[in-house]
Amino acid sequence: MSSSHLHKEDFGLLIEAGFIAVKQGSRSAAKKLFEAAYHLEPSKSASKLGFGYLALNELQLPISQKIFETVLKEEPKNSLAKVLLGFAFLMERFQLVAGKKKDAILNSIDSTSESVKKGELLIKEALQESLDSSVQNLGLSALELAAKVNAYLDVPLKK
């Protein structure tokens, strides 16, 4: 997709189409859309969030975390970046749990304790800072999922 045929007003459409492509499992299309958006508006964080979201959906957790942390360094009050980073940290435990027996999980649960604490804290901060419905819905869903995983493991959520 050549950015020479695109205009700055296409930025939002490219971002939205990129997120749709991620949801549909079209990695290459999403990547091209986010790249085109980035070239149109390199100073805007939405394309970076898109790349992070793509990495998160592919369970490339360290990559997604690094991208979201970069966005937060540039925009410390970016609630969407906070909730996505928090979710990426929580995903470390979810990955550990997926498809394993409880005994095997409990033996290695400590390795994700710090990530869970960070994730929960970031999500709670984002929920307090933002009234945006997508941030609220994603944050509440992530905390609910974390509570279910922790309840299954008999590990209480830290308040």
Residue range 99-124, pLDDT digits in tens: 666 666 666 677 678 888 899 999 99
Check pLDDT > 60 for residue 2. no
Residue range 35-82, pLDDT digits in tens: 999 999 999 999 999 999 999 999 999 999 999 999 999 999 999 999
State the Cα–Cα distance between residues 6 and 2, nearest whole angstrom: 7
State the Cα–Cα distance between residues 71 and 60, nearest whole angstrom: 17
User: End-to-end CA distance of the chain, in Å?
Assistant: 47
State the Cα–Cα distance between residues 31 and 21, nearest whole angstrom: 9
Q: For the whole prediction, is pTM greater than 0.75?
A: yes
